[in-house]
Amino acid sequence: MPENAATPGAPGTPHIEFRDVVKRFGSNTVLDNLNFTVDKGERVTLIGPSGSGKTTILRLVMTLEELTGGYIHIGGTPLQYEEVGGKRVRISDKRRRRTTTDIGMVFQHFNLFPNMTVMENIIEAPVNVMGLKKAEAEAKAEALLEKVGMAWKKDARPSSLSGGQQQRIAIARALAMDPEILLLDEVTSALDPELVGEVLAVLEDIAAETDISMLIVTHEMQFARDVSNRVMMFDKGAVIEEATPEKIFSEPENQRTQDFLRAVL
């Protein structure tokens, strides 16, 4: 773990905790009094209609969005706000950055640096944020590129790669920071259908081989069924049902969940 990373919580502390979380954009309340936890090593998938607040949840954990109300804790460490003397106090940017060092995110649209090669994209943060020596970062990147089947493209520019290849590079880049938490935001929705399988196969391998906690937003229900320990159904910014994949996909109890799954399966 990098020396500037957040200190892990005591045994039994949730890895991610949302407590009374509120998020508004102007007058639009996207999340209202949201409470849930993710345990260490747990893989939780958020499903539900577009606009139900799922991606906002990931962006709040990554501190790409500001909390309107409530608290998020990572391994027991407050992420954006903490309670001090009964008041809600904003965390300093330095403390935020220290906590998010352990969090990786893979975006819907890859977000690779177009002016850098594949190798440069992957080593940028390990060298400049974690302080790894370039040779060490490159050796690590080589191993990750091998894992995602892209070692042969290490000197290519992103513009020369297919969408599926770019997304596999984006996954390797996220893993290069040794994250303890991986956020996956609709990582296949921008891909041509024939490229979806190659990306999901990489993620299934990571889920099987590591104890990284995962918070996943996806419309790929088979992927959700295969990798998740728990599935949460969202509607209008609230969790309306949660269960194991087997239960939620085979015997959903909420009528809204039943209607949603009937539409997407």
pLDDT tens profile 214-230 = 999 998 898 999 999 99
Q: For residue 2, what pLDDT is reported?
A: 41
Residue 198 has pLDDT above 90, yes or no: no
Residue 171 has pLDDT above 60, yes or no: yes
Q: For residue 9, what pLDDT is reported?
A: 57
Residue 217 host element (H or E): strand 213-217
Residue 166 host element (H or E): helix 163-175
Kindly give, in sequence order, each residue whose CB lies less than 8 Å from that of residue 143, ignoring residues fewer than 6 positions away: none
Q: For residue 10, what pLDDT is reported?
A: 64
Kindly give, in sequence order, each residue whose CB lies less than 8 Å from that of residue 204, ignoring residues fewer than 6 positions away: 223, 226, 227
pLDDT above 70 covers a percentage of the chain that reads: 96
What mean pLDDT is predicted for residues 153-160?
94
Residue 237 is classified by DSSP as T
> What global pTM score does this model have?
0.89
CA atoms within 13 A on the CB side of 66: 8
Query: What tens digit of pLDDT does each residue of 80-134 get?
Result: 999 999 999 999 999 998 899 899 998 887 789 999 999 999 999 999 988 999 9
Q: CA-CA distance, 152 to 160, in Å (whole number)?
A: 13
Q: For residue 6, what pLDDT is reported?
A: 44
What mean pLDDT is predicted for residues 13-32?
94
Residue 179 has pLDDT above 60, yes or no: yes
What mean pLDDT is predicted for residues 191-210?
86
Highest-pLDDT range among 9-13, 106-110, 135-139, 167-171: 135-139
